[in-house]
Structure 1
Amino acid sequence: MLYVITGPPAAGKSSYIEARAKPRDIVIDLDRITRALTGPGAPQWNHDPIASKVALRARYAAIDEAVKHLQDVDVFLIHTMPSEVWLARYRRLGAEIVTVDPGEQVVRDRVRAMRSSAMDRVVTRWYRHYRGGSPRPATAQASREW
């Protein structure tokens, strides 16, 4: 099964997956991919343009390969703000779309505490796009202690 996990930055998407994925499952998370491709001491949420570009290409390749194995393993894919084109592709693959959203104030507090100020713009964009009438189910996900 393909699980596409959406939600604003710092919502608990990774924690949601950690609570559900089994060791053999495939987890495709752009943050994890970027960390794997950068050197020691790189920030946990690295937004260096070159590292981001390389990681994004690796993510696309991972998605393309992982969906070939959905009969054998579950695939958990974090996609913060999928476009309608991506959502259509995921639905064609029979994906379960899960939105993790503990609430805007919780997200903003976490971003202020842990992420760069640039992430605040992403939070604003996410809530403008998905607030009120999101066609996807929302999950008030309690995540790890921050």
Structure 2
Amino acid sequence: MLYVVTGPPAAGKSSWIESHAGPNDIVIDLDRITVALTGPGAPHWNHHPLHQRVAQRARYAAIDEATQHLDSLDVYLIHTMPSPKARARYKRLDARIIVVDPGEQIVMSRIESMRSPEMRRVATRWYRARRGGTAHGAMPHASRSW
């Protein structure tokens, strides 16, 4: 089964996966990939743009390979704002879409204390798309309801 975990930055997507994925599952999380590819002491967020670029390429390769094995394992994929093309692909793969959203005020507070200022822009765009009814196509789940 493919689980696509979506939501704004700092919503708790990684925490949701940590509480649901098992040791034999595949987790594709750009932050985790970036940390794995950088040296000791690298930040867990606010990565250098070149580090992110390399990690993004590794993420695409991981998605392509992992989705070929959905009959044998579960895959948890973080995708903050999937494009219509990505959503169509996930639908073809019969993915379960999980929206993690503790609310805009909590997200903005977390970004303020833990993330780079440009993440406010991403979160604002995510909420704007949600209000317009164009993002994700799934019902939201609070990040701590589990």
Alignment of 1:137 with 2:134, yes or no, is no
Query: What is the alpha-carbon distance in structure 2 between the residues aligned to residue 17 and residue 92 of structure 1?
Result: 22
Query: What is the alpha-carbon distance in structure 2 between the residues aligned to residue 43 and residue 30 of structure 1?
Result: 13
State the TM-score, normalizing by the size of structure 1. 0.94
- Aligned CA-pair RMSD: 1.2
Q: How many percent of aligned residue pairs carry the same amino acid?
A: 66
Q: Is the 8 A contact 2:4 2:79 kept in 1?
A: yes
Q: Is the 8 A contact 1:8 1:122 kept in 2?
A: yes
Q: Is the 8 A contact 2:46 2:115 kept in 1?
A: no
Q: Is the 8 A contact 1:26 1:75 kept in 2?
A: yes
Q: Which residue of 2 aligns with 1:45?
A: 45
- Name structure 2 gaps, 5 residues minimum: none
The ranges of structure 1 where at least 4 consecutive aligned residues each deviate by more than 4 angstroms after the TM superposition are none
Deviation at 1:46, TM superposition (A): 3.5
State the TM-score, normalizing by the size of structure 2. 0.94
Query: What is the alpha-carbon distance in structure 1 between the residues aligned to residue 23 and residue 77 of structure 2?
Result: 15
Residues 25-74 of structure 1 show CA distances to partners (whole Å, capped at 9, x for unaligned) of 00000000000011112111143111111000000000000011111110
Give the secondary structure class of the aligned counterpart of 2:42: coil
Give the secondary structure class of the aligned counterpart of 1:99: strand
